[in-house]
């Protein structure tokens, strides 16, 4: 293989592709990137066998071929190259050479083939909308590997809309955007790792006026996983989708009781929580809201170091609202991803009910309460 390629474009592709490698695998080839050169392009591929990623970069192909190289070694070679266009050569003794430096390569014959994909349904979403919806929900997904079905963002396509839903069982976030598709409604889970790969890929493209194609392939076997493919210009992300996502709508109930609502200034609430956490930095994740006339008191205690912080905060609330405890870190993330606004309103039916924020008719955030 012998190619000439733009250094910056290759570095961008490598930066995203290495997110799809398996850094803890017992199979060395899954830690590597595959570079294939043909027909005026270099294709960078990566996989951990649950996610598959390819990026296409324009190149002057002098000799076609393919190589398998550890991403950290490729990054070092590119960093050492001082020119804008780099010349990459595979030598006769199976080494990759850039400039005056060369490194050994893995056996490219051991690399797994990209799995076949038969499209059963295709959905189109504006890239910027999809990026925002996934960013504002994935933070609520579980990080517990024993609850693999919750380590995902649920994508629900219905009536020209796509709703993204994520929950860990302790918090929940939903966002809705426009989409285009034909046929029956469809839902599937997009694993958190694949979501983060997409969010990384979006950073190296211009979102303006771009659309993203999301394709669905039915399970090949009964009770087997479906396949999902996300296509951006020059990039493909493919993953499997496991089912058994819980019915998140059973997590809460509708309520229109204004006596159970509380409205805060977002900036003031964020500032108060940041101050509390800086004073009582610890692993005891419980902050209590105690209501008073014209406001409330945020109380947080570090029982290990015997430190307690209490901050008075102005807010509007109903007379029948009860004191409630919550995880302040969850609240900070909720506020970070809330739509732009000066205020935020919580529905708090009781001390044991979820704290719910309704952004509009379809989108909400939710935090489960903690025992006081």
Q: By C-alpha distance, which of 144, 70, 54, 79 is closest to 107?
A: 70
3-state DSSP call for residue 211?
A: strand
Q: Does residue 33 belong to any structural domain of this protein?
A: yes
Could you tell me how many helices (H) and strands (E) the chain has, helices first? 6, 25
Mean pLDDT of all residues belonging to the chain: 92
Q: Which two three-digit tokens encode residue 20?
A: 């799809």
Q: What is the mean pLDDT of residues 26-32?
A: 90
Q: Which residue has the higher pLDDT, 362 or 33?
A: 33
CB atoms within 10 A of CB 25: 12
Q: How far apart are CA 251 and CA 248, in angstroms?
A: 6
pLDDT digits (tens, 9 = 90+) for 205-243: 887 789 999 999 988 777 788 999 999 999 999 999 977
Q: Does residue 372 belong to any structural domain of this protein?
A: no
Q: Which two three-digit tokens encode residue 304?
A: 């290990």
Q: What is the mean pLDDT of residues 32-53?
A: 95
CA-to-CA dists, residue 302 to 299, 312, 358, angstroms: 10, 18, 31
- Please check the confidence at residue 246 and state whether its pLDDT lies above 90: no
Q: Which helix (H) or strand (E) holds 82?
A: none
- Please check the confidence at residue 57 and state whether its pLDDT lies above 70: yes
Sign of CA dihedral 167, 169, 172, 178: positive
- Structural domain containing residue 53: 2-110
One domain for residues 134 and 241? yes
Q: By C-alpha distance, which of 100, 109, 111, 85 is closest to 28?
A: 111
One domain for residues 126 and 241? yes
Q: Does residue 279 belong to any structural domain of this protein?
A: yes
Length of the chain counted residue by residue: 372
Residue that terminates a domain, selected from 65, 82, 110: 110
Q: Does residue 116 belong to any structural domain of this protein?
A: no
Question: φ and ψ at 363, to 5 degrees?
Answer: -110, 140
3-state DSSP call for residue 221?
A: coil
CATH of the domain at 98: 3.10.150.10
pTM flag (> 0.75)? yes
One domain for residues 159 and 104? no
Count of structural domains within the chain = 3
Among 8-12, 306-310, 328-332, the least confident range: 306-310
Say what the pLDDT of residue 283 is: 63
Share of the chain above pLDDT 70, in %: 98
Q: Does residue 317 belong to any structural domain of this protein?
A: yes
Q: Where are the alpha helices (DSSP H) in 232-291?
A: 266-279
Q: How far apart are CA 72 and CA 122, in angstroms?
A: 35
Say what the pLDDT of residue 256 is: 65
Q: By C-alpha distance, which of 191, 173, 198, 167 is closest to 242?
A: 191
Q: Which residue has the higher pLDDT, 248 or 129?
A: 129
One domain for residues 311 and 322? yes
| 264 contact partners, CB below 8 Å, separation of at least 6 | 313, 315, 343, 344, 345, 346
pLDDT digits (tens, 9 = 90+) for 114-150: 988 999 999 999 999 999 999 999 999 999 988 889 9
Q: What is the mean pLDDT of residues 261-286?
A: 87
Q: Does residue 261 belong to any structural domain of this protein?
A: yes
Q: Which two three-digit tokens encode residue 293?
A: 């006339």
One domain for residues 8 and 71? yes
Q: Which two three-digit tokens encode residue 210?
A: 């771009």
């Amino acid at each position: 293989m012998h190619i000439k390629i733009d250094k910056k474009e290759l570095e961008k592709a490598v930066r995203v592709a290495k997110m799809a490698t398996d850094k803890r695998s017992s199979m060395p080839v899954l830690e590597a990137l595959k570079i294939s050169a043909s027909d005026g392009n270099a294709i960078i591929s990566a996989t951990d066998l649950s996610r598959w990623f390819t990026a296409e970069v324009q190149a002057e192909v002098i000799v076609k071929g393919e190589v398998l190289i550890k991403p950290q070694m490729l990054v070092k070679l590119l960093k050492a190259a001082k020119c804008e266009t780099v010349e990459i050569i595979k030598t006769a003794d199976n080494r990759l050479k850039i400039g005056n430096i060369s490194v050994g390569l893995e056996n490219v014959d051991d690399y797994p083939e990209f799995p076949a994909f038969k499209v059963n349904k295709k959905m189109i979403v504006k890239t910027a909308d999809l990026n925002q919806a996934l960013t504002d929900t994935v933070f609520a997904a579980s990080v517990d590997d024993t609850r693999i079905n919750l380590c995902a963002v649920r994508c629900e396509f219905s009536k020209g809309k796509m709703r993204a839903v994520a929950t860990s069982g302790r918090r929940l976030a939903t966002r809705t955007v426009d989409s285009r598709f034909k046929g029956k409604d469809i839902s599937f889970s997009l694993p958190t790792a694949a979501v983060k790969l997409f969010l990384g890929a979006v950073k190296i493209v211009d979102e303006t006026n771009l659309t993203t194609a999301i394709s669905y392939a039915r399970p090949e076997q009964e009770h087997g996983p479906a396949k999902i493919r996300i296509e951006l210009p020059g990039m493909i992300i493919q993953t499997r989708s496991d089912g058994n996502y819980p019915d998140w709508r059973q997590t809460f109930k509708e309520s229109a009781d204004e006596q159970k609502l509380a409205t805060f200034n977002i900036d003031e609430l964020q500032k108060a929580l940041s101050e509390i956490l800086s004073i009582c930095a610890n692993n005891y994740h419980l902050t209590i809201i105690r209501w008073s006339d014209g406001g409330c008191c945020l109380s947080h205690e570090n029982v290990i170091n015997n430190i307690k912080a209490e901050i008075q905060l102005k807010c509007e609330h109903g007379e029948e609202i009860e004191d409630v405890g919550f995880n302040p870190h969850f609240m900070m993330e909720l506020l970070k991803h809330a739509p732009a606004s000066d205020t935020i309103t919580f529905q708090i039916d009781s001390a044991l009910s979820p704290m719910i924020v309704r952004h509009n008719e379809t989108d909400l955030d939710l935090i489960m309460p903690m025992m006081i």
